[in-house]
Amino acid sequence: MATKQNKEVVPTKTYKRKFSGDVVETGGNSSEDMVNLLNMGVDCLKKKHKPCVYEDSSEGLQAFENDCIEYFKHIAQLNETAEKPICPDIESLCVFLGMSRKTLAAYQTSRGLEWSQSIENVKNIIASAKKQMAFMGKIPPLIAIFDLTNNHGYLNSSEFRLTGVVEETKPIDKLPDLLSVLDMGEIKND
């Protein structure tokens, strides 16, 4: 049975922005772009025959930083031939390094200030690339908001936090008024 090759993974849609009038194209990532990303993952899996462990030392930190630089060079090289831009992200960084997101987060929180700052710098490079792509309309706004909020510590300003505040009120003392009415004989007891 012959199969039809479909180069489009996601259909392309165009729309006009409400205020600027710019025409924006979304979707339409070719299968070649996905192949590039998957090949990066497969290559990394083939290179790493053991779990990725960076020593908790200045040498381990230097090795980590060098591997992060290689990751960014690899993404830049893929973008030279990719039909659509490939954006760096935390997950593909972790695939490239041969570790999980949880391991990266553990390194950031448990290995001291130098590790924390280094990982924060790497995440800032990734976030800046994503923000620029979002500004150019290459990443849908909802995806950009979700990613920056969940992966980069940004706060969504439309979040509301409700807290209960109980005000102390003073009771109105109506007893003297009631007694004066009773003394005047206006209320009769049957």
The CATH code of the domain that includes 46 is 1.10.132
- Could you report the per-residue pLDDT of 28-52, keeping only the tens digit for each? 445 555 676 677 677 766 765 455 6
Least confident of 16-20, 35-39, 91-95, 158-162: 16-20
pLDDT given at position 19: 45
The answer to the question of residue 158 being in a domain is no
What's the confidence (pLDDT) of residue 67? 92
Alpha carbon separation from 105 to 65, 73, 94, 100, 102 (Å, rounded): 15, 23, 11, 9, 5
Half-sphere exposure of 51 (CA within 13 A, CB side): 6
Give the structural domain span for 102: 13-151
82 assigned to some structural domain: yes
65 belongs to a structural domain: yes
Joined tokens for residue 162: 């409700």
Residue 24 in any domain: the answer is: yes
Residue 47: the pLDDT is 65
Q: How far is CA 171 from CA 164, 168, 174, 176, 179, in A?
A: 21, 10, 9, 13, 17
Decide if 3 is inside a domain. Answer: no
Q: Report if residue 161 sits inside a domain.
A: no
Q: Tell me whether residue 66 is in a domain.
A: yes
Contacts of 20 (CB under 8 A, 6+ apart): none
The CA distance from 4 to 90, in Å, is: 34
Q: What is the per-residue pLDDT for 179?
A: 65
User: Domain total for the chain?
Assistant: 1
The beta strands (E) that lie in 48-151 are given as none
* Of 163 and 108, the one with more pLDDT: 108
pLDDT at 112 exceeding the cut of 60? yes
Q: What is the overall mean pLDDT for the chain? A: 74
CA dihedral 70, 73, 78, 83 (to 10 degrees): 150
Does residue 184 lie in a domain region? no
Read off the pLDDT band of 148 (50, 70, 90): confident
